[in-house]
A and B are shown apart, each in its own frame.
Chain A
């Protein structure tokens, strides 16, 4: 069959295929595209800027640019007195303001060697859990919004107003209560508050059921969130991820139970929920269960609320003796801690703030590598960070 042989076949086939391959690659290869998300984007809960390098629809590299909300808390704290600082730190994580105050006030109390009376501790715990509900409830609604379901966002805002009403009627502040005093609380609970709180908790539980029906059981929601943004437990812990994000990766760690005892948590019966998957769905599910658990805790606390004073004996001008203290608590977003150094003045010498979201977003460059563009929003939504908590 010599007639069918072509003279071109004499070319080395290996070389030929290489040439063809390189030609194809040259034609199909397009340059990477840089997509700039933010600094003003509805999904970023504020002003996070994310520079994403895209190959087609796939993320090659992602780089969060933070600092658009940096307000210099640690420096400002050096120029304020202790009671003034509680006003500032309300605004670190602006959704769970009350929970921010607790570790700082606790640290100052430890340095001064005073302890708030039991009733104050229990009311503090109630308000902390209420602010946890208010924070996570917004997430439960907004997470639907991030994946394209609009209805839960309205539910989230609707029922969150009920909790805000409770916080407002007890503290006077809808958003930033500034209710903690060193040595206790400003006021006692108002008359009729406990009964109102119980009714609201029922409504919150019903709302959680609604979220479960509409989102958790929804196959579109599952398709958008299951297997998206998996954080391996050890890796998450190595990055410093904490709170529900870490518990969704199967690590059973909650400072309310495992940390140094604070507030009324040692006397409460509660379960720490974990999930083994570590994906966006698991993070949603864990937060949903945590809301229910918080409701259970509030009801337990209301049942066993002790009587007594709400303020310990503290001097009129608060001077904290020399010393250093590290206090960490389980905030709605994760581990929040203050390292307070006092030189015996009316204000601290130095305050180091460890906020949860800063460590939680530090995993973003690793987590976003190789995902598709719509999943970037899902992952950012499910990590649930607050920009004030990142930049401080």
Chain B
């Protein structure tokens, strides 16, 4: 992606080139799993259990370092003690990077909405692409979020201006209304 950012393809790359690059990108998401709480086990089930098997969607777990990752899944309660570490490792990831916030705690604090030590929403620290509600969400919901993220990546523009504006996009929430609209 460095080529695009440096402008080798010009201000606006050709549509087939954009399509091809996005298509390649969306099926090789290196996922940095940030397992924090209960949701981490469900994420583990989505990754490791034969029933869900996330790798068939083109998601590759366990990168050696966040510097090699495209996607981070914040799964679980973010505490004020943990938040600086999340911000630091997010900043280490190379662009373009995507964030999935998994579970109510990471979305908004969840059952700890009045706790003194919990950060109410990871979006106070880093920008979030996809929110998955649930406490904890089922592994299927995480798979659905991955599919939604892949759709978003496919429709992304690769012009320099568009890349700079990427974070201004609308957040997506995995819910029934959204899924019904898609079907």
The residues of A with any CB-CB pair to B shorter than 8 Å are: 39-40, 42, 46-47, 67-72, 75-76, 79, 87-88, 91, 94-95, 138, 153-154, 157-158, 160-161, 174-176, 387-388
In the bound complex, residues from chain B placing their C-beta under 8 Å from that of A79 are 114
Give the tally of cross-chain contacts (CB within 8 A): 84
In the complex, the answer to whether A157 meets B81 with C-beta atoms within 8 Å is no
In the bound complex, residues from chain B placing their C-beta under 8 Å from that of A153 are 48
Within the assembled complex, what's the spacing in Å between the Cα atoms of A157 and B138? 14
**Chain B 62-73 per-residue mask, 1 if CB under 8 angstroms from chain A, else 0:** 100000000000
Known: A158-B51, A161-B49, A175-B136. A72 touches B34 (CB 8 A): no
Residue of A153, A157, A161 contacting most chain B CB atoms (<10 Å): A157
Query: Which chain A residue lies CB-closest to B62?
Result: A42
Known: A71-B115, A71-B117. A40 touches B89 (CB 8 A): yes
Within the assembled complex, what's the spacing in Å between the Cα atoms of A70 and B116? 10
**Chain B 1-45 per-residue mask, 1 if CB under 8 angstroms from chain A, else 0:** 000000000000000000000000000000000111110111011
Query: Which chain B residue lies CB-closest to A40?
Result: B34
Residue of B38, B85, B89 contacting most chain A CB atoms (<10 Å): B38
Query: Which chain A residue lies CB-closest to B138?
Result: A174
Query: Which chain A residue lies CB-closest to B116?
Result: A72
Within the assembled complex, what's the spacing in Å between the Cα atoms of A70 and B115? 10
Q: How large is the interface on B (under 10, 10 to 19, 20 to 34, 35 or more residues)?
A: 20 to 34
Say yes or no: is B145 at the interface (Cβ < 8 Å to chain A): no
In the complex, the answer to whether A161 meets B51 with C-beta atoms within 8 Å is yes
Within the assembled complex, what's the spacing in Å between the Cα atoms of A232 and B95? 51
| 8 Å CB interface, B124-146 against A | 135-136, 138
Query: Which chain B residue lies CB-closest to A91?
Result: B38
Query: Which chain B residue lies CB-closest to A145?
Result: B48
Within the assembled complex, what's the spacing in Å between the Cα atoms of A39 and B76? 14
In the bound complex, residues from chain A placing their C-beta under 8 Å from that of B89 are 40
Say yes or no: is B79 at the interface (Cβ < 8 Å to chain A): yes
Query: Which chain B residue lies CB-closest to A42?
Result: B62
- Of the candidates B48, B62, B112, B135, which one forms a contact with A71 in the assembled complex, judged by CB atoms under 8 Å apart? B112
Say yes or no: is B77 at the interface (Cβ < 8 Å to chain A): yes
In the bound complex, residues from chain A placing their C-beta under 8 Å from that of B169 are none
In the complex, the answer to whether A69 meets B36 with C-beta atoms within 8 Å is yes
In the bound complex, residues from chain A placing their C-beta under 8 Å from that of B50 are 154, 157-158
CB distance from A77 to the nearest CB of B (A): 11
A-B contact pairs, 21 of them (CB 8 A): A40-B85, A46-B37, A47-B36, A47-B82, A67-B81, A68-B81, A71-B77, A72-B117, A72-B118, A76-B112, A76-B115, A91-B38, A91-B111, A154-B50, A157-B44, A158-B50, A175-B38, A175-B136, A176-B38, A387-B37, A388-B38
In the bound complex, residues from chain A placing their C-beta under 8 Å from that of B62 are 42
